[in-house]
Amino acid sequence: MSSLFNDYQPESFFDEVFSKTGKARSHYGAMLDSVGSLNPSEYSARQKAVDATFLRQGVTFTVYGDDQGTERIFPFDLMPRIIPQREWERVEAGLIQRITALNLFLDDIYHGQKIITDKAVPAELVLSASHYRPEFRGIKVPHGIYIHICGTDLVRDGKGDYYVLEDNGRCPSGASYMLENRNAMKRAFPGLLQQLPVRPVDAYGSMLRETLAHLAPGSVLDPVIVVLTPGIYNSAYFEHCYLAKQMGVPIVEGRDLIIRNDRVFMRTTKGLEQVHVIYRRIDDDFLDPQVFRKDSLLGVPGIINAYRKGHVALANSIGTGVADDKAVYALVPQMIKYYLDQDPILPNVPTHLGVDPKECSYILDNLDKLVVKAVNESGGYGMLMGPHASKKERADFAELIKKNPRNYIAQPVLQLSRHPVFVDDHFEGRHIDLRPYVLCGDRVRVVPGGLTRVALKKGSLVVNSSQGGGSKDTWVLWDDPLDMPAETSPAA
Amino acid sequence: MNYRITHRTTYEYSSRVVVSHHAARLRPRDTETQRCLEFSLSFEPEPDLLTEHTDSFGNQVSCFSVQKLHKHFEVISRSFVSLMPVLQPDPLQTPPWESVAAMFRDPVPVDLLDPCQFVFGSPLLLHEMPLRDFALPSFTKGRPVLAAAADLCRRIHREFVFDPKATTISTPLNEVLEKKRGVCQDFAHLAIASLRAMGLPARYVSGYLRTHPPAGKPRLQGADASHAWASCFVPGFGWVDFDPTNNCFTSLDHITVAIGRDFSDVSPVRGIITGGGKHTVSVGVDVEPVGA
C-alpha cells in the first residue's frame, strides 16, 4: 500500500475507498496500486499541473454576493471516485424510474391532475408550489416530456446506502465540470484510464444533442439547435459556452433571437435563420417578457407563443420547478407508486414538511438536529445546518419558518460518505455526494458517473461549489470491458 | 341589460418601431349571468399575424404582431354583451370564514381544486406581503365568509382614497398600504391579498363599468377605462364578485372581461416592442346601455 495512505483514517464514516477494517475495497485496487507507486511530491506535482490547466482554460464558476470577486476556479481533487458496475446498475435503474415518474407527474399536473383527483398526493402542497404555473395548464409539449435534462443529487449514508437528496429539473448545471474532470484525469493518469474498463463520459455532448434534436418539430429533419444563455454574468456561463461547443451549436443571448410569424429566428451574418430547439439556461421568469416578468431583458418576447404553437421546442419545458420544489420532492415515492405501480429503487431522505403543522412544530423543536432548507433555493443558499449553527442563526431561522412554513422542509443530518482527498501532502477524508445527469429524449439515458462534489472544508457536509465545495472525476468501473454498453445511438 | 362596448388602446411612439408583439384579453367572458353576443377586433395598422387561444383560466387571448415599421398602433375591440341580474347569497348565511379556509388545507376536497389554485401567492401578490395584519379586523371569530369580505370591501373603500396619480401599474402593494391611495387595480389586489392571507381563495376580475349612470344615480369611479374588482369563493354557491373601489357587490353595472390570479394574468393589452423610443398609451372605454 502506498505511503500516501499510511496515516489515512476512515474514522466512523462510510468511506468509499476503505472498509471499516482499513482494507481497500476491491474496485479501488488497480487505482490504488497506480497512485501507490507515487510519492507525495510526485502526486502533488500532478495535482498542481491539473490545477494550472483549469486556470489556463478558464474552468470557472461564479459566486454571487461576495465582495472577493466573482469568478472562481472550481477546485478539483485528483483522486477519482469509483463506482463498481453492480452499484451503478442499481443507481441507473433508480434514476430512470424516478425521471419517468417525474415527467408523468408534470404532464398530469399540467393537464388533468389525475394524481390529485385520485388523492394520491395532496392538492394544497402541489398547487402552492411557487414554481407551479397554472397559466401553463393544457399546453401540449413535444412528446409530453417536461424535464429533458435532470441533475439528481445522490448521497450515501453511514451504511453506504444511496439516497436521493434532491432533483434538479430546471436548469441543472455541472455537466461541463464532469467532462473537464475526465479530461484532466486523462492527462494526469493516461495509462490508468486506458488500462481500466471505465465507462466513458465524453459522449455527453452528442447525447445531449440527440436528446435535443428529438424534440424538434416533426417535419424538421436537420434541426437548428442553440444554447440560450443569460450572458456572461451568470454563474454557469462557462458551462453554457462549453456545452454549446461540445454539441457544435451556436450559443445565443435573448437579443440574438427574434420572433417572426410565431417562429424563432437567430440573427446571423447571413441573415435570419430559423431555430427549432432551444436549450435554455434562463429561468422561466426571465424567458419571455410578454408572458412572465415584464422587466426582463434576458429573454425573447413572443417565444412562449412560438412554443405554444409547436414551432420551437424548449428544454427544459416551462413550469418544471413544481417537481423540484423540495416539499414536492417528498411526494416522489407516491408518484412512482401511482404512475408506475413500483416501489422506489432509490429511497428519499426522510423529509419533514413545514406546511404540516405537526411536522412544523417538530422541526422547530429539533432545529439543532436537522438540516432545514428553503424549498426553492439551490446551490446551498437558504439552508440551515442545525448542529453546526449558532444559537442566533437557529433563532433567526425559526422566525423565517414560522412566517412561511410552506417554504421550508427539514431532514435529518446524514453522515454523508467520505472519500480521501489530497490535502497539502497527504490524504484526508471529506464528505461527498454525486450528481448524475439524466437525459430524456427518445429514451432515458443516464451518463455513467456524473459529478462527484466534495465538501473541501474539514467536517463540512455542504458540497455546493458556491459554499466552498470542489469536485472529483467519477469512474463507473465495468467488470468486463467487452460488455460495456454503447453510449450513443449509431449515427443517423 | 345589454351593453355595446368600445375599448380603444392607442400607442404613439417618438421613433419608429421595428416589431411589436401584443397579447390582448379583451373579449368579455361568458358567465352564468353574462353572454358576449358579438365581439370584434380592429387594428391600425393591420397586424401581420393574429392568433387566438384560450388561456388556462378560460380567458380568450388574441396575440398579434406588427412586423413593419410603425410609429402608431391602435387596437379597438367592440363587443355586445347581455347581462342578467346576479343572485347574491345572503352574506350572513354563508359559512364561517375559518371553515372555508380549512377546506383549502390538505386534504383538499377534489371538487375544490379549481378555487384551490387561487389560494396561494401569484406573480404580483407574493406570500410575504404583511397583509394579515390589515385583513384581521374584518375576520372576527366565526364571521360568515361573505360578511367578512363585505367588511373588507367597506374598509378599503373607507380608508383608501381613489387617486389615479398616486400609483402606477407597477406600484407594489405595501406602498399602496402605506399611502392609503390608489386605483381600482390596487384595491382589488389589496382585497385579494387580504383574503389569501387568511387562507381563502380570491380571484382578480377585469372588466368594465357602465359609463353613464342611470338618472339620479352618481357616476361610479373607474368608468371610461378598464375596471377591476375582486372575487371571493363561497362554498356551495361559487364565486361572488365585489368591487372595493365602489363598495358594492357587482351586478348589472359590471361587465366581466377576464379572470385570473392577479392583474398579470388578465392585462387587457400587454405589449413588447423593439425600437420606438418614448411612447404614450391612451385608453378609451365607452360602455353604452342598449335598449331597456
Query: For residue B67, which residues of chain A lie inside 8 Å, CB to CB?
Result: 260-261
Mean pLDDT over all residues of chain A? 91
Could you tell me the pLDDT band of residue A66, with boundaries at 50, 70 and 90?
low
Q: What is the pLDDT of residue A491?
A: 41
Q: Are residues A390 and A438 in the same domain?
A: no
Q: Are residues A31 and A123 in the same domain?
A: yes
Query: For residue B119, which residues of chain A lie inside 8 Å, CB to CB?
Result: 124, 127-128
Q: Are residues A419 and A407 in the same domain?
A: no
A1 pLDDT higher than 60: no
Total number of domains in chain B: 2
Query: For residue B199, which residues of chain A lie inside 8 Å, CB to CB?
Result: none
CA atoms within 13 A on the CB side of A403: 13
Task: Search chain B and give the residue with CA nearest A288.
Answer: B272
User: Residue A260 is placed in which grid cell?
Assistant: 417572426
User: Residue B81 is placed in which grid cell?
Assistant: 354583451
Could you tell me the pLDDT band of residue A98, with boundaries at 50, 70 and 90?
very high
Q: What is the pLDDT along chain B (292 residues), one digit of tens a residue?
A: 999 999 999 999 999 999 899 999 999 999 999 999 999 999 999 999 999 999 999 999 999 999 999 999 999 999 999 999 988 899 999 999 999 999 999 899 999 999 999 999 898 988 656 788 999 999 999 999 999 999 999 999 999 999 988 888 778 888 899 999 999 999 999 999 999 999 999 999 999 998 777 777 777 776 678 899 999 999 999 999 999 999 999 989 999 999 999 999 999 998 888 888 898 999 989 998 887 5
Q: Are residues B224 and B283 in the same domain?
A: no
Residue A12: burial class (beta carbons within 10 Å; 0-12, 13-18, 19+)? exposed
DSSP state of A354: T
Contact check, Cβ <8 Å, B265/A135: yes
Contact check, Cβ <8 Å, A259/B21: yes
Question: Sign (positive/negative) of CA torsion A206, A207, A212, A217?
Answer: positive
Q: What residues in chain A have their Cβ under 8 A from chain B's Cβ atoms?
A: 113, 116-117, 119, 122-125, 127-128, 130, 134-138, 258-262, 289-294, 301-302, 305, 308-309, 355-356, 403-404, 406-407
pLDDT tens by residue, A238-279: 999 999 999 999 999 999 999 998 999 999 999 999 999 999
Q: Are residues B103 and B52 in the same domain?
A: no
Q: What is the pLDDT of residue A106?
A: 98
Q: What is the pLDDT of residue A492?
A: 37
Q: Which of A34-48, A349-363, A387-401, B185-199 has the lowest mean pLDDT?
A: A34-48
DSSP state of A338: I
Which of A412, A430, A452 terminates a domain? The answer is A412
Convert chain B into a string of H (helix), E (strand) and C (coil): CEEEEEEEEEEEEEEEEEEEEEEECCCCCCECCEEEEEEEEEEECCCCEEEEEECCCCCEEEEEEECCCEEEEEEEEEEEEEECCCCCCCHHHCCEHHHHHHHCCCCCCHHHHHHHCCCCCECCECCCCCCHHHHHHHCCCCCEHHHHHHHHHHHHHHHCEECCCCCCCCCCHHHHHHHCEECHHHHHHHHHHHHHHCCCCEEEEEEEECCCCCCCCCCCCCCCCCEEEEEEEECCCEEEEEECCCCEECCCCEEEEEEECCHHHHCCEEEEEEECCCEEEEEEEEEEEECC
CATH number at residue B130: 3.10.620.30
Phi, psi (5° rounding) for residue A455?
A: -80, 100
Contact check, Cβ <8 Å, B116/A123: yes
Is-contact A147 A440, C-beta < 8 A? yes
CB atoms within 10 A of CB A40: 15
d(CA B213, CA A413): 67
In a domain, A262, yes or no: no
Phi, psi (5° rounding) for residue A243?
A: -70, -35
Q: What is the pLDDT of residue B112?
A: 95
In a domain, A41, yes or no: yes
Could you tell me the pLDDT band of residue A64, with boundaries at 50, 70 and 90?
low
Q: What is the pLDDT of residue B292?
A: 55
Q: Are residues A40 and A185 in the same domain?
A: yes
Report the percent of chain A where pLDDT is more than 90: 74
Q: What is the pLDDT of residue A490?
A: 46
Q: Are residues A319 and A466 in the same domain?
A: yes
Contact check, Cβ <8 Å, B19/A258: yes
User: Residue B67 is placed in which grid cell?
Assistant: 412586423
Contact check, Cβ <8 Å, A309/B106: no
Q: Are residues A32 and A65 in the same domain?
A: yes
Q: What is the pLDDT of residue B139?
A: 97
Task: Give the residue from A362, A330, A363 showing the smallest Cα distance to A347.
Answer: A330
Q: Which amino acid is at B272?
A: I
Domain containing B229: what range? Answer: 91-265
CATH number at residue B31: 2.60.40.2250
Minimum distance, in Å, between the CA of residue B271 and any CA atom of chain A: 6
In a domain, A237, yes or no: no
Q: Are residues B138 and B54 in the same domain?
A: no
d(CA A224, CA A276): 5
Total number of domains in chain A: 2
pLDDT tens by residue, A149-168: 999 999 999 999 999 999 99
Q: Are residues A115 and A183 in the same domain?
A: yes
- Length of chain B counted residue by residue: 292
In a domain, A25, yes or no: yes
Query: For residue A119, which residues of chain B lie inside 8 Å, CB to CB?
Result: 107, 110
Coil/strand/helix, residue A407: helix
Q: Are residues A391 and A461 in the same domain?
A: no
Domain containing A387: what range? Answer: 352-412
DSSP state of A331: T
In a domain, A20, yes or no: yes
Q: Are residues B54 and B33 in the same domain?
A: yes
Which of A412, A436, A453 terminates a domain? The answer is A412
Q: Are residues A473 and A386 in the same domain?
A: no
d(CA A380, CA B17): 44
Question: Sign (positive/negative) of CA torsion A30, A33, A37, A41?
Answer: positive
d(CA B231, CA B195): 10
Is-contact A28 A17, C-beta < 8 A? yes
In a domain, A183, yes or no: yes
In a domain, A304, yes or no: no
Q: Are residues A139 and A33 in the same domain?
A: yes
A489 pLDDT higher than 60: no
**Widest pairwise Cα distance in chain B:** 61
Q: Are residues A408 and A418 in the same domain?
A: no
Task: Give the residue from A329, A319, A409 showing the smallest Cα distance to A372.
Answer: A409
CATH number at residue A379: 3.30.1490.270
Angle between helices A175-188 and A40-57 in degrees, nearest 10: 140
Contact check, Cβ <8 Å, A290/B23: yes
Coil/strand/helix, residue A14: coil
Query: For residue A308, which residues of chain B lie inside 8 Å, CB to CB?
Result: 53
Q: Which amino acid is at B193?
A: A
Q: Are residues B195 and B51 in the same domain?
A: no
Q: Are residues B213 and B135 in the same domain?
A: yes
- Cβ-based neighbours of A218, under 8 Å, separated by 6 or more: none
Q: Are residues A359 and A389 in the same domain?
A: yes
Q: What separation in angstroms does the CA of B83 have from each of A215, B4, B28, B29, B54?
A: 46, 11, 11, 11, 22
